[in-house]
Amino acid sequence: MKHILMIATGGTIASKETEEGLAPALTSRELLDCVPEIGAVCSVDAVQPFNLDSTNVYAAHWLQIARLIEENYAAYDGFVVTHGTDTMAYTAAALSYLIQNSAKPIVLTGSQRSAYSRDTDARRNLADAFLFCADDRAYGVRIVFDGSVILGTRAKKTRTRSFNAFSSIDFPAVAVMREGVPFYYIEGGKPTSPPVFYHTLNENVFVLKLIPGMRADIFDWLDAHCDGLVIESFGMGGLPDYGDGAFSARLAHFLSLGKTAVLTTQVEREGSALDKYAVGRRLRACGRVLEARCMTLEAAVTKLMWILAFARGEQAETLFDTPVERDIF
């Protein structure tokens, strides 16, 4: 029987109705009481490092979760993290970079409705998460939600209300859960060498979402406060010109300060292709701008935070272009 550690962090799955609206309140034990059937396949211990709406979860919490997993890695066969859906994809991506080469499964799940709601999806998602985590073929960071098993680096929340809240972007789901049994689309690849844990992130990363007519003097603030910049451009990617070349000049100056910039697209699927149009090729003249290609925004942001914690320049560029858990290709 597998021995699994549950890390409860709050979210809708743990929420109760209050005078101010839904807010996390359920304990890890109360959540486990919702799925007594998992006792037939695994034994579970639980910890609750925090109990937050995931809107309030950020890098310090990702590091806290990673540290808990590292401290308990030898004692357990896998880990289930219950989490709010709003930033779950960020946490899953961050954990994919903070904990690499894990032969043990690290499964994130949550729900669109509270575990105490009559029509909740919490019981199914929680049960599926534990049943997948107990499977001998499971490994690495995964999101299990509404029957889908998604790589931590490929997941995105694409619906705010529906039970099928998460999609796997530009990559197949790893598996589907059918009556508690995982049916795999992608098998193999389980690591045989020890996991690698990282302990720092550089939070000075900013996402700049372009809108038509945006002024280039936004770089006054970016130059002073950011080590890394993710630019969400239009379509396949590029920088606006507006007749004065100000955006290109300011980006070139940003890069000259030893900072790192990544170009991605606002379009959810199919990624960027900077060399397709003149507006993209012109960006190349600004300096070494990295291209996220098919990466999710969540993966691009957290990968840049991970890299800039210990690398700059050519080393950072090489690391960004090196695939981790099929995040870029």
Whole-number Cα distances in Å, 285 to 71, 255, 280, 315: 46, 11, 10, 20
User: What one-character-per-residue DSSP string does 214-271 give?
Assistant: --GGGHHHHHHH-SEEEEEESTT-----TTTTHHHHHHHHHHHTT-EEEEEESSSSS-
Q: Look up residue 305 and give its two tokens.
A: 């935070």
Nearest C-alpha neighbor of 81 from the set 149, 29, 7, 166: 7
Question: Is 82 designated active site?
Answer: no
Name 310's Cβ contacts closer than 8 Å, sequence gap at least 6: 200
Contact 155, 89 (CB under 8 A): yes
The dihedral over CA atoms of 249, 274, 298, 246, expressed in degrees to the nearest 10, equals 20
* Alpha-carbon torsion (115, 119, 123, 124), positive or negative: negative
DSSP 8-state secondary structure symbol assigned to residue 52: B
**How far, in Å, CA of 230 to CA of 251, rounded?**
12
Of the candidates 12, 85, 87, 120, the residue annotated as catalytic is 12
Beta bridge partners of 3: 43
Give start and end residues of each alpha helix (H) in the chain.
28-32, 59-72, 88-98, 122-133, 219-225, 246-256, 278-284, 297-308, 313-321
Beta bridge partners of 149: 144, 175
Give the up-direction half-sphere exposure of residue 123: CA atoms within 13 A in the CB hemisphere.
11
Nearest C-alpha neighbor of 130 from the set 93, 105, 164: 105
Active site residues: 12
